[in-house]
Amino acid sequence: MRRSRPLHALLSGVTATALSAGLVALAGTGAHASPETSSHAGRPMPAHVAAPYVETWTGESPAALAAQSGNTYLTMAFLQTPAAGSCTAYWNGSTTQPIAKATFGDDIAALQARGGNAIPSFGGYGADTTGTELADSCTSVDAIAAVYENLARTYGVTRIDLDIEADSITDTAGIDRRNKAVAKAERWAERTGHELQFSYTLPTTNTGLAPSGVALLRNAVDNHTRVDVVNIMAFDYWDGAQHDMAADTRSAAAGLHDQLAALYPKQHPRKLWGMIGVTEMPGIDDFGPQETFTTDDAVKVEKWAEEKGIDTLSFWALQRDNGGCVGTAGANSCSGIAQDPWYFSHTFEPFTRGHHHHW
C-alpha cells in the first residue's frame, strides 16, 4: 500500500513546523477527559468494523474528518521509528509526534466518545522500505512489546495494526521479533485486563497471499502469536492486467481463507472468515487505470463482506474519498473518479453499524 508516499519528505520543512506548532497549541489547551476515563476507551472492537485509513501527516484532525465522513472507527497511519536502529516509535517517524496524549489524544478520545475508536498502524510502504518499521529497526523484543503496550495504555485503543510489505515482508529477523513482541504484548493485555487485538495488513495477489505473507503467518503460529485479523490490500496487483476489483477482492479473500485453513486446521471455516480484513483503494489506484475500484465495486464488496462475515472493511485513505481529481491515479487527496464526497465512507460504514456488539 502507499507505494509512492515518502513520509519524511511530506514531513520536512514547512509541514513539520506547522505540525509541531499545532501540537504545541494542542498541548497548551489544558485538561481534557483522558481516554482512560471515557466509558468507550478500552471497549472490545465490534466483530465487523469499517475503519478506513487516515493519513496522519497532513495536519488535519482525524476526529474532524471522521465526523464529516460519518466514520466511527479509523485506522491511523503510521507509526515508525525516526531512524533505522531506533526502538522509539513516533507518529510518521517525526520526533515532534511522540506516542503521548498531546499527539492525537483529543482526536482518539473524540472517536471513543462517539462509540468508535482508532486503530493505530505501524509500518506502511515508507517505513517498510527505510528500515524504520519498529520491529525491523529495533532488535529488542521486550522494547518492541513495550511500545505496543504503551500505545494501548496511552490512548485506550484495543487494536493495533501492523502494515508489513515491501522489504519488511521478507525481513525474517524482523518478522520473528515482531511476532514474539506481539505475543508478549498479548500476554501483558491478558494479565492486566486490557482488551488488545492485532491485525496484519499484507499485500495480496488476486488469489491470496504471496508465499512471503504465508511465511509471516506461519512464524506467528510457531511463536504462539494470536493474529486476530489478516487484512489484505486488495489492489496494487502490479501485473499490468485489467482488473474487476470487486471480483478480485472476492477471489483474493477466498484464497486467503484457504491459506488460513491450512495454518489453523482446527478452526471452523466461519471463524476463518471472521479473521479476514479487506482494504481497498477507492478510484484509480497508484498502479493505474487498470486497477480502478468503482462506486459500484464498493456496493458489491460491502454486501459480500456482510454475507461472508469478514472482520474489517477498510480503504486507503479517508482523504481520497472525494471526486476532486477525475482521471488522476494514486493521488493522496482524491480518488481520481467522479463520486460524491465521502461516497466510500457512506457505503462501507453500515458494515459496522449493522453488526455492532450490544454492550
Domains of the chain with bracketed CATH: 7-353 (3.20.20.80)
Give the chain's length.
359
pLDDT for 124 beyond 50: yes
Burial 179-212 (b: 16+ CB within 10 A, else e): bbbbbbbbebbeeeebbbbbbbbbbbbbebbeeb
User: Quick one: pLDDT band at residue 133, thresholds 50, 70, 90?
Assistant: very high
Query: What does the alpha-carbon distance between residue 96 and residue 131 come to, in Å, rounded to a whole number?
Result: 20
Give percent above pLDDT 70 in the chain. 87
Mean per-residue pLDDT of the chain: 90
Chain-centre distance for alpha carbon 333? 18
What average pLDDT score do residues 2-29 get? 36
- The pLDDT of residue 1 is 56
Q: How far apart are CA 7 and CA 74, in angstroms?
A: 19
**3 compared with 103, residue with greater pLDDT:** 103
End-to-end CA distance of the chain: 34
Give residue 26's pLDDT band: very low, low, confident or very high (50, 70, 90): very low
Predicted local confidence at residue 7, as pLDDT: 32
Quick check: 25 pLDDT over 50? no
Distance of alpha carbon 196 from alpha carbon 102, whole angstroms: 22
* Mean predicted confidence (pLDDT) in 79-83: 98
Cell of 193: 485486563
C-alpha cell of residue 95: 520526533
Q: Indicate the pLDDT class of residue 38, thresholds 50, 70 and 90.
A: low
Q: Could you tell me if 156 and 36 are in contact, meaning their C-beta atoms sit under 8 angstroms apart? A: yes
d(CA 293, CA 339): 12
* 49-77: pLDDT as tens digits: 999 999 999 999 999 999 999 999 999 99
pLDDT higher than 60, residue 329: yes
Percent of the chain at pLDDT exceeding 90: 86
The b/e string for 98-125 (b: 16+ C-beta within 10 A; e otherwise) is ebebebbbbbbbbbbeebbbbbbbbbbb
Judged against a pLDDT cut of 90, whether residue 251 lies above it is answered with yes
Q: In 3-state terms, the chain is what percent helix, strand and coil (to 5)?
A: 40, 15, 40
| 6 vs 79, more confident | 79
**CA-CA-CA-CA torsion for 236, 241, 245, 247, nearest 10 degrees?**
-130
Per-residue pLDDT band at 23 (split at 50, 70, 90): very low
Q: How far apart are CA 180 and CA 183, in angstroms?
A: 5
142-197 tens-digit pLDDT: 999 999 999 999 999 999 999 999 999 999 999 999 999 999 999 999 999 999 99
pLDDT band at 105 (very low <50, low <70, confident <90, very high): very high
Q: What is the pLDDT of residues 275-285, one digit of tens each?
A: 999 999 999 99
User: 63 is written with which cell numbers?
Assistant: 476526529
What are the residues facing 54 on neighbouring strands? 76
Pairing of strands 73-80, 197-203: unpaired
Give the containing element (helix H, strand E) for 144: helix 141-155
